[in-house]
Structure 1
Amino acid sequence: MDEKRIREIFLESSEIKRKFAEEFAGMILEVARRIVEKVKSGGKVILMGNGGSACDAQHIALELVGKFYKVRNPIPAICLNANGALLTEIGNDFGFENTFVRQIEAFATEKDVVVGISTSGKSQNVIRALERAKEIGALTIGFTGEIGKSMKKYCDYLFVVPSSDTPRIQETHITLGHVLAQIVEELMGG
């Protein structure tokens, strides 16, 4: 690794984000507006992911509940991967693929927004939860990479990062989460 390679990595990341923004800017704004509608109607944002995507889910939830830029009323958001005891109990008793769907059945309603983050688009626990959330009538949103397009049938909106490189996908996902949090915060006011 040398300085030239470091610059290349940063340029690669920024180019992927540029392409993503060009393709999805309109949908990002539409999704933010839909989230605000749901929250103003008594709903909440439910997020989930595995590994690095679990960290992104927690990060986005904290930006909504706490603050992004402004001190304001909290925006209700929960992260399904944040409770280790619950995850291990469900995984042990019902199988890992059901860690999120059981929680969706417990917590989600048609008033809610459910966000599933999977860089590969193949995470069965995320897919099962999105499928069940859609059946319940929640608004379903997916974040994935270019090989995860199969998530589309479970999502009302699917954000596909134009890359198959996990770090570059995750960098774009957290930027997307930040942009959504900023827009939602601005639209919620107060």
Structure 2
Amino acid sequence: MATKIYDIIAASISVKQEILSDASFQQKVQAATDAVIHAFQAGKKVMFCGNGGSAADAQHLAAEFSGRFYKNRRALPSDALHCNTSYLTAVANDYSYDDIYSRLVDGTMEKGDVLIGLSTSGNSPNIVKAFETARAKGITTIGFTGATGGKMKDLSDHLINVPSTVTPRIQESHILLGHIICELTEAAIFND
């Protein structure tokens, strides 16, 4: 048992070590952060979407913006698109689960906003469809995926593709990288 615990922790550290030693990956994170900062400074919003554990991460990161990260400051306009269960179940039932995010992107987002999608495979149909809608509306897309980027690769203005194919290791890195974006954004907008 202790060996298995050690192996899991070591695997998580290994993925993060690969990110740490990759300057071009860190530049991608900086570029995504700059897009988020620019959107908030322009009075736009940053919305998130994901499924399962990635939905939980999406909601967590949105709350870091709309609540607070380190600083007592005004709320930033950010939310996770899955938080209205009446909407979610109605659209999934009346249309398709694949449409749950694209309809909200179409109805509530505008050019200059940012849509951040989290999908370890990069192939979640509802997020791919949301990114297609976002692209058609001039909404900046940031994809958090695993190694290949999946279908989201070609639909992401900024692709943060964690160098792993193991779902838990990817998600652990997504929350780390999301926290980095939140911290740097808050510091840039609310520099004291």
TM-score by length of 2: 0.94
Deviates further, 140-149 or 85-94? 140-149
Q: Offset at 1:94?
A: 1.0
3-state SS of the aligned residue for 1:99? helix
Contact 2:49 2:81 (C-alpha < 8 Å) held by counterparts? yes
Contact 2:143 2:158 (C-alpha < 8 Å) held by counterparts? yes
3-state SS of the aligned residue for 1:146? coil
3-state SS of the aligned residue for 2:21? helix
Q: Distance in 1 between matches of 2:159 and 2:126?
A: 17
The residue aligned with 1:55 is: 56
Q: Distance in 2 between matches of 1:145 and 1:18?
A: 15
Contact 1:33 1:187 (C-alpha < 8 Å) held by counterparts? no
Contact 1:149 1:160 (C-alpha < 8 Å) held by counterparts? no
Contact 2:31 2:158 (C-alpha < 8 Å) held by counterparts? no
Q: Distance in 1 between matches of 2:90 and 2:21?
A: 42
TM-score by length of 1: 0.95
Contact 2:162 2:173 (C-alpha < 8 Å) held by counterparts? yes
Contact 2:123 2:150 (C-alpha < 8 Å) held by counterparts? no
The residue aligned with 1:65 is: 66
- Unmatched tracts of structure 1, length 5 or more: none
The 5-angstrom pairing of residues 1-190 of structure 1 reads: 2-23=1-22, 24-189=25-190
- Unmatched tracts of structure 2, length 5 or more: none
How many residues are treated as equivalent by the alignment?
189
Question: Identity over aligned residues, as a percent?
Answer: 38
Q: Distance in 2 between matches of 1:173 and 1:67?
A: 19
Q: Distance in 2 between matches of 1:188 and 1:33?
A: 11
User: CA deviation digits over 1:125-154, x for unaligned, max 9?
Assistant: 000001110110011000111243331111
Q: Distance in 1 between matches of 2:20 and 2:183?
A: 15
Equivalent position amino acid for 2:59 in 1: Q
Q: Offset at 1:15?
A: 1.1
Q: Distance in 2 between matches of 1:150 and 1:99?
A: 18
Q: Offset at 1:22?
A: 3.3
User: CA deviation digits over 1:39-72, x for unaligned, max 9?
Assistant: 1111000100000000000000000111111111
Q: Distance in 2 between matches of 1:95 and 1:115?
A: 21
Q: Distance in 2 between matches of 1:22 and 1:107?
A: 39
Deviates further, 23-32 or 130-139? 23-32
Equivalent position amino acid for 1:38 in 2: A
Q: Offset at 1:4?
A: 1.9
Equivalent position amino acid for 1:8 in 2: D
